[in-house]
Structure 1
Amino acid sequence: MRRAEAGAELKARREAEGLSLREVAYRIDYNPGMLSMWERGLRTMDTWEAALYLGACVTPMREALRIISLVQPPSDLYWVRPYFDRLDAPIRSLIVQENLAKAMVCYDPARIPGLHQTENYARAMFEDEPHYSQEQIDLTIKSRIDRQKLLQRSDPPQCAFYIHESALRQRVGSSQIMYDQIQYLVLSANLPHCSIRVVPEASPAGRARRFPFRIMEFAEPRCAMAYAEIETANLFIEDRPAVESYYCLVTQVEQSALSEGQSRDWLVRLADEYERMRE
C-alpha cells in the first residue's frame, strides 16, 4: 500500500507540472512503461530513482523528501503519518488509500464518521477542541469535505459504517446542527454503495465501546489494511494477523448493530427529536 501511495504522489507531482509520462521519461532517460508501473504501484523503485523522478518534476525539497520517505521500505508492517505542523499532511495519505480502496468498513464509537459529517458539524466539533488553531480547523474541514467526494464518484467503494448510539446522541453545536447532520445521514443511507448501521448503547458491542477503526480492502495484490487515528498521528496497519483481529471486531459490531432498515427508522426518529429541540 505504501508503494501505491508513493505512485499516486509521483503522478500528482507530474500532473501538477503539466508533464506527460513521456516528457518525464525523456528527462531522466527511462522507459515510459517503467514510469507508468511506478505510478500505478505495480513496481518497486529505489529512493534515488524517486529523487530522479521528482527532480524532473521540479519538486520542492520538503515535498520531495516526504514522497521519498514513502519509497523507503518500512521496518515493519505498521506505519505512521505524524501531523507535524499542518493537519493536512497525514490526511493526504488517508485520501490516497481511500481512493485506492474497493471496499471499506468503518466503526466510530464517539463521533459521526468524517465521510458523513456536515461542514457545520465538523466545525462545531473542532471548535470544541482548545488545541486547534483556526488555521488548523479550516485545513481539517476542507480536507474532510474534499474527502467526501469519494462517495460521489461513478465507481465508489462499497462502504459499511457502524456508528455508536452515543455518537449520534451527543450534541455537537446546536440542535439545528444535529438535526441537519442526522438528516444528512438518513439521505446517505439511501445510497446503493453505502450501508449505515446504528450500534445500540445497550448491545454487547455498544457496552464495550472499544475505539474507532476502519478496514480498507484493495484489489489484488494489495489485500487489506486497518487504519486508526490517535491524537498526533494516523496509524496504517498491513500486518495480516493484526488486520484479522480487526475483522473479528467487525464481526462483533455487526452482530450487535441494527439492520440497515432499522437503523434508517431509528435515525428518522432521532432527527424528529432534534427537530423538536429546535422549537
Structure 2
Amino acid sequence: MILGREIAHMMETAGKAPADLAAILSTSRSRMGQILSGQATVSVGDLERLATQLGFRDTDYHETLFAMRKDSHKRGFWTTGYRRAYGEELRLRVDTEMHADRIREFEVEVMPGLLQCEDYVRALYMSVPDVDGLTLEDRIQARIDRQSIFLKDSPPSAHFVLSESCLRRVWCDRPVMITQLEHLIELSQREHMMIQVFPFDRPVGRRTAISNHFTLLRIPSTGVAGSLEVAYTEGPGEFRFLDDKKALDAYDTAWTRLTTAALGFEESRKFLRGMITEFGKHPTP
C-alpha cells in the first residue's frame, strides 16, 4: 500500500495517468490499478524503469523504493502457530497496526481488541469451538500478541473513544468486567495512550458520528509522498480500508467531533472508577 501510494505520487508529479504507467510497464490498466492499490507486486526492474521514465532518477530514491518493495511478496508469516487465529480479512488490519505510529479508534459495542485484558479475551472466546487445530489458548495468544505493539521502544500514539455501551455490554461475569475496567484505567495512564469515555447522558451534536465504529491509522514512510493514512471500517462480511482524501477528511472531522463531545481524560478515569464501584455492588446472577 505504501509503495503504491509512492508510485501514485510519482505519477501525479509527472502529470501522468494510470494508463501511461501501464504503457511504460507493458501491462494492463487493471494490473496497474492493482499495483497502485497495493494488491499486486512489481519487480525491481519494472520499479526502476517506472521511476526513471517518470523523471525520478536519483539512485538513493530508487533504493528507498526497493526497500518498500522488499517484504511485499513474503509468505508464511500468517500460516503458522497462533497467528492462524486471524482470518484473511483481519491480517491487513493487524499488519497496519504493527507498522503504525498513530492509531485512533472509536468503538460502540465491543471493547477494542487492542485494549482487551486476557480474562476478557478468554471470556469472549470461551464458547468458540476449536477449528482446524486452533485452540482457545491460540486465540488468546493471538490477541495478546497483537497488543505487543505498545511494548516497543517507540510505541504508536494511541487514542480511543469508547461509548458507554461498549463499557457496559456484559460479555462475561462482573469480576472480569471489573478487571477489564481496571485494565483501561492502567492503560490510560501510559505516556502514549489516551482513552476517553462517551457516556449516554453526554450531549451529542446532530452531526456527531456515534453509530458506526471506525479506526484511523497512520503508517510512516521514508518516501517523498509522506505517511500513509487509512480509515478502517468493518461490518458483517465487509472489511474496508479507505485512503482517498475525501473519505479521510470526513472521518477526521467525525473524530474531532467525537473527541470534543466525549469526557476529558481525567473525567473518563473517574467515570471508569464509578463503573467499577457499580459492578462491585451487583454480583453476577
* TM-score over 0.5 (shorter chain): yes
The AA in structure 2 aligned to 1:216 is: L
Match of 2:130 in 1: 134
Q: 1 CA distance for matches of 2:130 and 2:170?
A: 21
Displacement after TM superposition at 1:274 (Å): 1.7
* Aligned counterpart, 1:273: 278
Q: CA deviation at 1:230?
A: 2.2
* Alpha-carbon shift at residue 202 of structure 1 (Å): 2.5
Q: What is residue 266 of structure 2 aligned with on the other side? A: 261
Aligned partner of 1:213 in structure 2 is 214
Distance 2:176 2:262 in 1: 25
Distance 1:40 1:165, change over 3 A: farther
Letter in 1 for 2:130: Q
What SS does the aligned partner of 1:215 have?
strand
Alignment of 1:1-279 (within 5 A): 1=1, 3=3, 37=64, 40-41=67-68, 87-127=86-126, 133-135=129-131, 138=136, 139-203=138-202, 204=204, 209-220=210-221, 221-278=226-283
- Which residue does the alignment assign to 2:55? none
* Aligned 8 A contact 2:209 2:254 in 1: no
The amino acid across from 2:192 in the alignment is H
Choose 1 or 2 for highest CA Rg: 2
Q: Are the counterparts in 2 of residues 127 and 137 from structure 1 also a CA contact under 8 Å?
A: no
Q: Which one is further off, 152-161 or 225-234?
A: 225-234
Task: Output the CA distance in 2 between the equivalents of 1:37 and 1:50.
Answer: 14
Give SS of 2:220's match.
Answer: coil
User: SS where residue 189 of structure 2 aligns?
Assistant: coil
- Gap change, CA 1:180 and 1:98, over 3 Å in 2: same
Q: Cα–Cα, structure 1 residues 124 and 38, in superposed 2: closer, same or farther, change >3 Å?
A: farther
Letter in 1 for 2:254: L
Structure 1 residues 216-249: Cα deviation after superposition (integer angstroms, max 9, x where no partner): 1233523311011223343211111111111111
**Shift in CA distance, 121/137, structure 1 to aligned 2, threshold 3 Å:** farther
Q: Assess, with a 3 A threshold, how the Cα gap between structure 1 residues 173 and 50 changes in structure 2: closer, same or farther.
A: closer
User: For the residues of structure 1 that align with 2:104 and 2:242, how far apart are their CA atoms?
Assistant: 14
TM-score, length-scaled by structure 1: 0.67
Instruction: State the 1:277 CA deviation.
Output: 2.6
Q: What is the TM-score normalised by the length of structure 2?
A: 0.65
| Letter aligned with residue 230 of structure 2 | M
CA shift, 1:143, in A, is 2.3
Q: Distance in 2 between matches of 1:239 and 1:209?
A: 22
With over 3 angstroms needed to count, the CA separation of the structure-2 counterparts of 1:97 and 1:205, relative to structure 1, is: farther
Matched letter for residue 177 of structure 2: M
- Identity, in percent, stands at 22
User: Structure 2 CA distance, aligned partners of 1:38 and 1:89?
Assistant: 26
- Determine helix, strand or coil for the equivalent of 1:134: coil
Cα distance change, pair 170–141 in 1 and its aligned pair in 2 (3 A)? same
Paired residues of 1:226 and 1:246 also in contact (CA < 8 A): yes
CA contact (8 A) 2:233 2:240 kept: yes
Distance 1:159 1:205 in 2: 25
Deviation string 1:183-222 (CA, Å, 9 cap, x unpaired) is 0001001101000000111231699631110111233523
* Distance in 2 of aligned mates of 1:173 and 1:184: 15
Answer with 165-174 or 140-149: which moved more: 140-149
Q: Contact 2:85–2:139 (CA<8 Å) still a contact in 1? A: no
- Residue 255 of structure 1: CA displacement? 1.5
Q: Say if 1:126 and 1:137, in contact at 8 Å, map to a contact too.
A: no
8 Å Cα contact 2:111-2:167 kept in structure 1? yes
CA offset at residue 140 of structure 1? 4.2
Structure 2, gaps ≥5 residues long: 5-43, 45-59
